[in-house]
Amino acid sequence: MRSVLVAGASGYLGQRLVQSLSENNFRVTALVRIKNKIKHLDKYVAKYIEAEVTKPETLKDTINEIDVVISTVGITKQRDGLTYMDVDYRANLNLLNEAQKCGVKKFIYVSVFNGHKLKDLKIIQAKLKFAEALRSSGMPYLIINPNGFFSDVSEIFRMAEKNTVYLFGDGNLKANPIDGKDLADNIVQNIDSDKKEIEIGGPEILTQNQIAEIAFDVLGKKKKIRYIPIWMSRFLLKIIRFFTTVKIYGPIEFFMTVLTMDMIADSYGKTTLKEYFKTLKK
C-alpha cells in the first residue's frame, strides 16, 4: 500500500483529499496544525503529524516513508499575521525541501486556475513563485490549477440568504466552479499521471446571474440582484488596498478580481452547484 501525505489536511480540499485517498486504498498521513480539527476523519487517517509548515524545524524527519506529498497549504481566510509569501511560497518550499531530504517520489501542489492572468495579485505571485521552485527542483511533480471551489461560491449563497446578491458588471461573466470531493477524486486519479500541470473546473458553466438564481431557488426566495459597474469594483479595490493591509485586502482583491472575468477550465465531476447549495440550507 502506498503512502500519501496530505499537507493542509484540515482545509476544505485537504479533508476531501484525505477521504478520497483512503477510499482508493492509499495509506494517508495527515499533516495539520491542530489534529482535533479533523477528528471526524479519523477512520481515513493512518497517521497524524502535528507541525507548523512555516517553521521548517518542526518538519524535520517527519516525512519518512512517504511516496507522494500533496500540498493544499495556502492562505484563504486564515488571519495568522503571515503573508502569502510566508505561507503559499515559503511554507510550501519548507515542505518540498523536507520531502526531497526524505526521498519522497512525487510532489503534487494545488495552485490556482488562470494564475498567468492574475499576476498582479499578491496571492498569485506567491503561488507562481512556489510553482516555479517546484518545476526547477528536480523532484517529479504535478501542479493542479483548479477553478473556484464550491466553498468559495458559497459567498453568493450567503448574500442570497440576506435577500440581495451583488454582482459586478451585468452578471453574465461565466465560470465552472468545482466541488471539493470531485476535485479531490480527480487529483487522486492523476497521482501516477505523467502530466505536469492540470487545469480543472466543474461540470456546469454558469453565469454569475445563474449562480445567484440557483441560490435564490434553493432558498425559496424571490430573486433580487444588484449590479455594481466594473469600474466601481476597480475603484473600490484601490481604496481597500490603500487603507488596509494585505491580510485584509488580499482575499477581497482575489475574490473581486476573479468575479470580473470569465473563468472556464476543463470540465470534470458530477456534483452540481444546486446540490451543494442544498447542503448549505439551514
CB of residue 224 vs ligand NAP: minimum separation in angstroms? 25
CB of residue 13 vs ligand NAP: minimum separation in angstroms? 4
The answer to whether the beta carbons of residues 193 and 140 sit under 8 Å apart is no
Query: By C-beta, is 83 or 233 nearer to ligand NAP?
Result: 83
Give DSSP secondary structure letters for 159-193: HHHTT-EEEETTS--EE--B-HHHHHHHHHHTTT-
Q: Record the cell numbers describing residue 70, joined without a space.
A: 500533496
Cα(280)–Cα(34) distance, integer angstroms: 25
Query: By C-beta, is 86 or 223 nearer to ligand NAP?
Result: 86
Q: Which amino acid does the sequence have at 21?
A: L
Query: By C-beta, is 14 or 171 nearer to ligand NAP?
Result: 14
Query: By C-beta, is 223 or 252 nearer to ligand NAP?
Result: 252
Q: H or E element: which one contains 50? A: strand 47-50
Cα(28)–Cα(121) distance, integer angstroms: 33
CB of residue 76 vs ligand NAP: minimum separation in angstroms? 3
Using CB under 6 A, list all residues that contact ligand NAP: 8, 10-14, 33, 37, 52-54, 72-76, 78, 80, 82, 87, 91, 110, 112, 146, 148-149, 151-152
Query: By C-beta, is 123 or 214 nearer to ligand NAP?
Result: 123
CB of residue 102 vs ligand NAP: minimum separation in angstroms? 19
- Report CA dihedral (250, 108, 37, 59) to the nearest 10 degrees: -100
